[in-house]
Structure 1
Amino acid sequence: MDETTVAQRHHIRGRGGAAPGAPKGWRAWGRRRRITVVTVGVLAALLAGNTVSVLAQTAEASGGQIVRLPGGDIHVVQDGPPDAPTVVLLHGLAGSTAWWDPVLPALRDRHVVRVDLLGHGGSAKPAGGYGIAEQARRVGAVLDQLGVRRATVVGHSTGGTVATSLAEQRRDLVAAIVVIDTGPRVDAFVGDSFVGHLVTVPVVGQLIWRLRSDTTIRGALDTAFTREVRVPDQIIADIRGMTYRSLTETDQASDAFMRERPVPDRLADLGLPTLVIFGAQDRRWQPASAQDYRRVPSARIEILDGVGHTPMFEAPDRTGALLHGFVVGIAPR
């Protein structure tokens, strides 16, 4: 059979059927093709359904909910009186809503909304969409769906860049802003742990991530703390659940945001009430770089002695008191 005859018979077959008079083997191939197409379709539907199911189970386990958005569903947890002033908490790179657990008691009289950024925690982990401006737009859309009209937005580390971008985009929504150990500029970065650095190296990093264990993850978190703290298993599980792409692209997006313009310059232009909390022994960002935020006229700067990159865990009482005192003074609705 020449190529022209094959093409003609393929055209006559229409939707997968064998051409009249086609050889038995040809008709069998058509049946196998139909079965394969149907099987792939069923598997795709099952995988999509399983992803939605996993997100829903994660939300239920955390007491949270899933907010459906184009480009990826977002996991959120709400605490406190729904009619109280709203405080939005945004975690950092490789974080999740669980990173805020230690300071929740201090904010129990506020309506607290914790958000898992795209690619993190219980939120979707698609192939793209990790730019800081995109993450900020997504947080704004989540708050709109939740009916939040005005809020103090708090961001830890990379979450501080998302909070800043949200304030730039939504002056109607953001009444005040808090950044916690958010690097002001890229060259203030001190460095990751040895394991954390290797994860960012092409090829090597992908291999490490593929073989990641709880021990590897805890090693990568080494510079996130200065004090000896107990890192909950949930935090390790949330990090393990990330994809390599969501991890590295979020990291690169944060750097790009700061290279475009330093965070203090952005905050200075916003003119919003601003609280800056920084650990005096931060091992990821130069502690002295916290002074860059003095360029923000409306900023109050709190340096915590003996504390590293994660004040929520290392000094939860002090951090919680600072947050509560600030939001009480602002009290947006």
Structure 2
Amino acid sequence: MTTPDGQPHVNGDAEAEATDSSPLSPDDGDIYLCQDGPRDAPALLLIHGTASSARSWDMLVPMLTGSHRVIRVDLLGHGRSAKPAADRGYETPEQGRRVSVELDRLGVKHAIVVGHSSGGAVATALTEQRPDLVTALALVNTGPSMDAYIAPESAASGPSQWPPTDEQIRQLASTGFGRADYEIPQEFVDDLRGMTYHAFAAVMRAGRAYLEQRALPDRLMVLGKPLLVIFGEEDRRWRSSSAADYRVVPGAKIELLPGVGHSPILEDPPRTAALLLAFTAAHAARAD
């Protein structure tokens, strides 16, 4: 994130590794980020989905830091980042631009980018804007277009009050996992409650608008970047069969995980990490 004087700030010993550059404008808001792993290893950027935060990757990170400099952000409106009341700034391309500014602050020249759910749309927007920065892309249960969206039951369409209760949040989040009896992590509950209603609604609108404007496979097929798509077969938010839509991207690799729902990064971290590591091993030489 940025400090009040506009200088970059990151967690722990990563602070010493941050590089100075021109600060974001005051309208952009502070962005939280953290780093794990050796600073001289290839950079691996992880982008969370809607109503989540960098903490959603916690179980996966220890499996990735042996060979990567792992960088995580809280997107605007989420986690420990700013939650401005203004309407501007929550658009998916703006989220991608803001992430690229933070990577520039850290002196990252190339990175492999992984996005979960709507974080995959932000990763795509980042790649569109900065093909010089993104060397390869992995999408985890990221719906390719609104045609693949599974409309929720009316009772689970959204909270009836704000801030929502724990029970309302768990009901809303239940479709984010393959099993109906999956125990929703308390961190997820806290992350959603920590959002403002404005931020939650603005992010939801922004993600839908980005997909309606142009499907992700159509955006990615012209970028020429290596692509890995991971999809839990039991996803209850996006049709898992829609993963095949990404095959229009030349060389795209599609992996379906049986017995896993919308959140492989939480439901099955070892299998998810193994797929990511196999992918990054083939493309990390170009990432710093």
TM-score, with structure 1 as normaliser: 0.76
Amino acid at match of 1:214: D
Tell me: CA distance 1:64–1:97, structure 2 relative to 1, closer, same or farther (3 Å): farther
Q: Distance in 2 between matches of 1:300 and 1:105?
A: 24
Q: What's the counterpart of residue 217 of structure 1?
A: 169
Q: Shift of residue 133 of structure 1? A: 0.5
- Residue in structure 1 matched with residue 7 of structure 2 by the alignment: none
Counterpart position of 1:72: 29
Q: Secondary structure at the match of 2:281?
A: helix
Partner of 1:262: 215
The answer to whether structure 1 residue 294 and structure 2 residue 247 are counterparts is yes
Distance in 2 between the 1:64 and 1:190 partners? 40
Deviation at 1:103, TM superposition (A): 1.0
Q: Is it true that 1:176 corresponds to 2:136 in the alignment?
A: yes
CA distance in 2, matches of 1:248, 1:290: 26
Higher gyration radius (CA): 1
Is the partner of 1:176 in helix, strand or coil?
strand
Letter in 1 for 2:234: Q
CA contact (8 A) 1:193 1:220 kept: no
Quick one: distance in 2 between partners of 1:195 and 1:117?
27
**Aligned 8 A contact 1:271 1:298 in 2:** no
**In 2, are the aligned partners of 1:276 and 1:299 still within 8 Å (CA)?**
yes
RMSD over aligned Cα atoms: 2.2
User: How many equivalent residue pairs?
Assistant: 269
Mapping 1:221-236, distance limit 5 Å: 221-227=173-179, 228-236=181-189
Alignment partner of 2:29: what SS? coil
Are positions 1:118 and 2:52 aligned together? no
- 1:187-202 to structure 2, matched below 5 A, reads 187-192=147-152, 194-199=154-159
Measured in 2, the distance between the counterparts of 1:239 and 1:323 equals 27
Q: CA deviation at 1:230?
A: 3.8
Describe the SS at the equivalent of 1:303: strand
- Please tell me whether residue 92 in structure 1 is matched to residue 52 in structure 2: no
Distance change (3 Å), C-alpha of 1:148 and 1:122? same
Contact 2:51 2:78 in 1 (8 A): yes
Q: Which residue of 2 aligns with 1:253?
A: 206
Contact 1:193 1:219 in 2 (8 A): no
Give the stretch that moved more between structures: 233-242 or 116-125: 233-242
AA in 2 matched with 1:139: V
Instruction: Give the TM-score taking structure 2 as reference length.
Output: 0.88
Which protein has the bigger helix share? 1
Seq. identity, %: 48
Q: Point out which structure has higher relative CO (alpha carbons under 8 A, 6+ apart).
A: 2
Confirm or deny: 8 A CA contact 1:307 1:314 kept in the other structure: yes
Q: Using the alignment, how far apart are the partners of 1:253 and 1:189 within structure 2?
A: 15
CA contact (8 A) 1:117 1:135 kept: yes
